[in-house]
Structure 1
Amino acid sequence: MNKQKIRILQVGAGSMGSRRIRDLLLRPDITLSVLDKRKDRLKKSVESFGIQSFESFEEAIDWKPDVLSISTPPDQHDDYIHFALENGLHHFCEAQLWTYDFLKIKSESQRKGMLSATSCSMHFLPIIKQLKLFVNDKLGDLHAYQMYLSTYMPSWHPDEGVEYYARHRNTAAGREMVPFELLYLNEIFGIAEEVVGSIGRRSQLGNDSEMEDTWCLQMNLAGGSFGQLVVLQASPSTVRKGVCSGTNGRIEFDIYNGKLTAEFDDGYKEFIDYGSQKDVIELAYKDEINTFVDAVLGKAKWPLSYYDSALATATLAAIEKSATRGKWEKVDPRIQPEYLLCQIDN
């Protein structure tokens, strides 16, 4: 970068956007401003952080940013990503439900010397880093893994109204969490080549009468092993734990509680407590956005690509097809989830 300070435009000032602002403002090598169409969020950002704000994208672009940090709902990512690609801006984007054309991302980023980064927050959690080390160095050949996530949709920002994206079928909390979980599970255990499973509605939660709340995936992984993932959004419980087994032993990991237990056939046993997720996740967010800025400056390498994101979101597309057709479906990163029709209850 030729400028003394990088000019970063934070797009979106909701929950994640506010976290990005908080962490970016700790850096002395950037200048930050924020864009949000909601006046209440802009007002809160100005009051909390004292940064320049914009209500329109045109005004924000006249500020001439070098970087976009995109923290909008997942169905609003594409226009900002497209703008960044067309105008040679580095960008960071929150977790995807539909991954932008990864081939175009790669070609345009290489041609224009841009960093195009999609969020991978879980990669930065200490328990995930250690789990990956154990799987790579101690577990031997993977036989299978199981992962269970229960996230209660009503607890997602209860102060938000019916407009909140996670309360709608197309961008439902549980639907979003399928590729969110797969992004780090794929990194640790390998990608799914084909998938079969079921999706259903087991509750009456939400203002969308068509919204599913239960996803169950059985996956054949590259390399011949197997994976299972269950994601719930309607059970009033908080669980994020799994187990994996290989030729040399097994590992249990409880991510919400930060506990990892490993036992291997050479007699090695270890129990590690990394602290509960709620106590360490903010540090992971800080590490993530700082790694992105350092990568823009050429001081770090971004760990995952848009291709990795496309594989995770394509697995969601495949399970949704499988649930309808009742058969195994191939995972193709070029095939992304459909936009679902919603029936909003009055």
Structure 2
Amino acid sequence: MSRTFVVIGLGSMGKRRIRCLQALGMTAIVGVDPREDRCAEAAARYQVPVHASLDAAAVSGPQAWIISVPPDLHHVYLERAASAGIPSFVEASVVDTGMASLLAREEAGALIAPSATLCFHPAIRQIRDIVAGGRLGRLSSVSMHSGQYLPDWHTYEAVSDYYVSNRDTGGAREIVPFELTWLVTVFDWPRTVSAQVRKTIEIPGAETIDDTYALMLDMGAFPLQLTVDVVSRVATRRLLVNGETGQLVWDWNEGCIRLYDAATAEWSKIEYDLGKAEAGYNANIGEQMYIDEIRAFCDAVDGLAPFPNALGDDHRILGVLYAAERASANRSVEVLPS
């Protein structure tokens, strides 16, 4: 069915989503953002019509919305889309405002697709197959570190000028569910969580946020340690999986997965194609995984396949984040719902 894709929010992610749609051959695209400078940039770079509000856009006929506004505004547009019967895709969330109503909407048939970008990363897809295929044997421990330096996120604006500086939507807080979304697809859901959540250094504009989250998750048969920070001066994403018959190491700066086979006492490399990165972005942040994610949303809109991340799972991920914060504050271990 021919439909118009309305991209709401024309910041970094909104512009990326327009690129994704155009890479997929979509031409009926409308941008919406209250900021005149963002509208002007999107119109000039991508030759799409832009408007200051949804009402001004006055789009008629079949639509699909891509919601790329700050996380504390997600629910506003999700509710509006669901009530109008419009399928929607939404960027990674960190707050659960309005979630009960939205879950009821989804249960009644609304298509709400929460972002799960890293599930489309070619390395993570292969890691999932390696673990599921038993190539490492019985797992004994998993360690994951995701680190970035917050001022490097948007070099063109101050940290204080956008949502990562707000305590509820802080940069480190946002990345915890971003990583957990793919980790649970590979290693399943945790049973308990303990954590240390704190502010460790001074970043101008980020005075009120916690910059480091260190989680210890009980996965049943093994522990999983997840550290997320926005103080790493070198952007880092590194995974270590220890198994009974092997070991897996993935460092995104190496561009490959390394596997150790205890039977042969040898290392092997599995390479992958990340695709090109957009100019101005870290070379490890390829565009293809974002394109594949929007393709999955388009397939869900057309009824070809369900989107791989459900709102209920997204809500459960946020529950792990909130439990980790409680565990840190109370110096306790939080039991997670099964």
Cα distance in 2 for partners of 1:103, 1:248 equals 44
Aligned to 1:324: 329
TM-score by length of 1: 0.88
On the 8 A contact 1:9/1:65 being kept in 2, the answer is no
SS at match of 1:237: strand
Report how far residue 30 of structure 1 moved: 5.4
Aligned to 1:337: none
On the 8 A contact 1:152/1:236 being kept in 2, the answer is yes
Aligned to 2:28: 31
User: Among residues 139, 162, 183, which one is paired with 1:185 in the alignment?
Assistant: 183
Aligned to 2:81: 84
Please list the CA deviations of residues 222-271 of structure 1 after superposition, one character each: whole Å capped at 9, or x if unmatched. Answer: x4321101112123122110111223322111124322111234437521
> CA separation of 1:65/1:11 partners in 2, compared to 1, >3 Å: closer, same or farther?
farther
Aligned to 1:306: 311
Aligned to 2:115: 119
Note the 1:1-346 alignment, pairs <5 A: 1=1, 5-28=2-25, 31-64=28-61, 66-99=63-96, 104-105=101-102, 107-112=104-109, 114-137=110-133, 138-161=135-158, 162-221=160-219, 223-267=220-264, 269-274=267-272, 278=283, 281-332=286-337
On the 8 A contact 1:66/1:89 being kept in 2, the answer is yes
SS at match of 1:170: coil
Report how far residue 7 of structure 1 moved: 1.3
On the 8 A contact 1:7/1:31 being kept in 2, the answer is yes
SS at match of 1:224: coil
> CA separation of 1:139/1:311 partners in 2, compared to 1, >3 Å: closer, same or farther?
farther
On the 8 A contact 2:3/2:64 being kept in 1, the answer is yes
SS at match of 1:150: strand
> CA separation of 1:13/1:65 partners in 2, compared to 1, >3 Å: closer, same or farther?
farther
Cα distance in 1 for partners of 2:113, 2:157 equals 28
How many equivalent pairs are there? 328
Structure 2 gaps, min length 5: 275-281
SS at match of 2:168: helix
Report how far residue 107 of structure 1 moved: 4.6
Structure 1 vs Structure 2 CA RMSD: 2.2
SS at match of 1:160: coil
SS at match of 2:93: coil
Matching residue's letter, 2:243:
G
Please list the CA deviations of residues 1-59 of structure 1 after superposition, one character each: whole Å capped at 9, or x if unmatched. Answer: 4xxx1111100111111011112124445511011011100011111111111112222
SS at match of 2:210: coil
Cα distance in 2 for partners of 1:332, 1:110 equals 20
Cα distance in 1 for partners of 2:206, 2:251 equals 32
Give the fraction of aligned pairs with identical amino acids, expressed as a percent: 28
TM-score by length of 2: 0.89
Cα distance in 1 for partners of 2:325, 2:98 equals 20
Q: Which moved more, 1:156-165 or 1:317-326?
A: 156-165
